[in-house]
Each structure stands twice: as C-alpha cells, then as structure tokens.
Amino acid sequence: MISRKFVVYALLVISIATLMISFYLGGSIPFLFPINLILVILTLTIWKFGYIFTPLFGSFIKSDINMGEYNMLNTLDAIYKKMDDQYYVSKFLTANIHESTTEKTEDEKGLMMEYFERAITSFKYPVKVSLLIRNVDLTKELDELRAERSRLENRKSQLSSGSSQENSSQVSIIERKIAMINKELEKLTSGDKPMEIVSLIMTTSKGGSIDEAKMKAEAQTKEIQAVVGNALSVSVTPLSGDEMLKAFDFQFFIPANASEFNDMFE
C-alpha cells in the first residue's frame, strides 16, 4: 500500500543519493545533476499536489493508496476502511439533473418527488444523497441583455427618423429583437431564482474480505445507476480519481465560494 509520504520520502532519498554520487565523482557524470534537480522538483510537486499525483502513481504500480484512516483502491473508484475484521467499501456517483424544477408545474414537481422516493425506498441498503446548491449570480447576463437592448433602442430611434420602406422593415426587425430581450429579462428577474445543483450519491458495502466488499459495492453502484436513472430520467455516473476524492472530501467540507463550486467536476 502506498501513501503520499512514502512517495515523497522515496524520491527524497533517491535525490540525496544522486547528489552525493555527483559530488563524489566530482561532476564527471554531467547528467546526474539535472536528474537530481528533476527529482527535487518532483518531490516538492508531490508534497504539494500529492492528492492528484499519488493516486495516479498508485494506479500505475497497482497499489492501493493510503489516506491515513482510509485507503483508496488502486482502481481509483472506491474508498475503503477495515474495522473489526470487516472491510467497508464506499463508492460515489453523481446524478446529472439537466431540468430545473422551477420550470415544472406543481403536479410535475410532485410526480418527480414521488418517483425519487420510490427509487430510494426500493434499495435494501442505506443510500446517502447529498445536494450541493448555490444561487446563480445573473448580474453579468442581465447587464449584457440591458446593454444590447439599449443599443437596439438607439438604433431604432435613428431609423425611425427616416421614412423609407427599408427603414420601416429594419425597425420591425429591431422591435422583435427588443421584445425577445424583454421576455428574457422578465424570465430571469421574476419567479424563483435560478440555482445550480450537484447531486452526489454514496453507497457503502461490507464484507469479510476486500474482494467481497468491492464486489457488493460494484453491484450496488450498478443498481443505483439503473434505478435512479430510470426513475428521474437522468444520467447517473460513478465517480473516480480526483472527482471521487472531491466527493469524499465533501463529507467534511463543501465549496466555500462560487469559483470552487464551478471548478468541482471540470
């Protein structure tokens, strides 16, 4: 099993060894110093960004990743822990909800919630569903729409001063564009405020061996994908690698601002 400290210490030892050999040989092997410099940079990089590189390295050498109290499978798609001779394996999924409930009628909202409850209660094991929600700041979009409307109104005023048939035709086109912008502004400024939602699902299984727990977790993941996906007509995707680590970290800390929220699964 590999950990970030193990990788850093190993690179540090190799770096010191190559540096000593380079000094001992008096620089007679010129490529040793560049190698040492690369190793130092790599050591600092892994120390700083080990949460990204250590899992990739562990996956490459087919070794599980030690995360202190927890471990990550070398497949980078599950977290596990051993307690009382039992292995607990957790997997994470995200449900991509493309439709906003603000655009649905009350009956449609009720039906959606009913389908969701049916899906969740059909499982014979606990499922954790987390919703990360933030209000979307539309200031920039609103300012752009208002600026465009102002530009069109100025253009309309200029054309209206003329009396040619061509001007009248252009005025009609501009009026339609202004009407579309007004409709869009009304939609954005009235009713419920738009929200951005990330839906995360967590499932855990246990077994007497790591392989048994992994197999059960994989079966539960596939069932969740099928049941939730069909019930809500959404895409449910298992998370792995850096995205899974983010979902795991969300059990303790969530994004602190809009920028972190937007960067989550990019």
From first to last of its 266 residues, the chain has per-residue pLDDT tens of 444 555 556 666 666 666 666 666 555 556 555 666 666 666 556 555 555 555 555 545 456 777 778 888 888 889 999 888 899 999 999 987 655 555 566 676 677 778 778 877 888 888 888 888 777 777 888 888 899 989 888 888 887 776 666 677 788 888 888 899 888 888 777 766 777 778 889 999 999 999 999 999 999 999 999 988 888 778 889 998 888 888 888 877 777 777 766 666 55
- Specify whether the CB–CB gap between 108 and 116 falls below 8 A: no
The residue extents of the domains of the chain are: 2-67, 70-136+195-262, 139-189
DSSP H helices in the chain: 4-24, 32-60, 106-121, 139-160, 165-189, 210-232, 241-249, 258-262
pLDDT in tens, 93-108: 998 765 555 556 667 6
Amino acid identity at 173? I
User: How confident is the model at residue 61, as a pLDDT?
Assistant: 47
Domain 70-136+195-262, classified CATH 3.30.70, yes or no: yes
Q: For residues 114 and 157, what is the distance between their CA atoms, to the nearest angstrom?
A: 53
DSSP, residue by residue, 125-179: S-EEEEEEEEE---HHHHHHHHHHHHHHHHHHHHHHT---HHHHHHHHHHHHHHH
Taking the chain, what is the end-to-end CA distance rounded to the nearest angstrom?
29
User: How confident is the model at residue 238, as a pLDDT?
Assistant: 93
Q: Checking phi first, is residue 85 left (phi over 0); if not, alpha (psi -120 to 50) or beta?
A: left
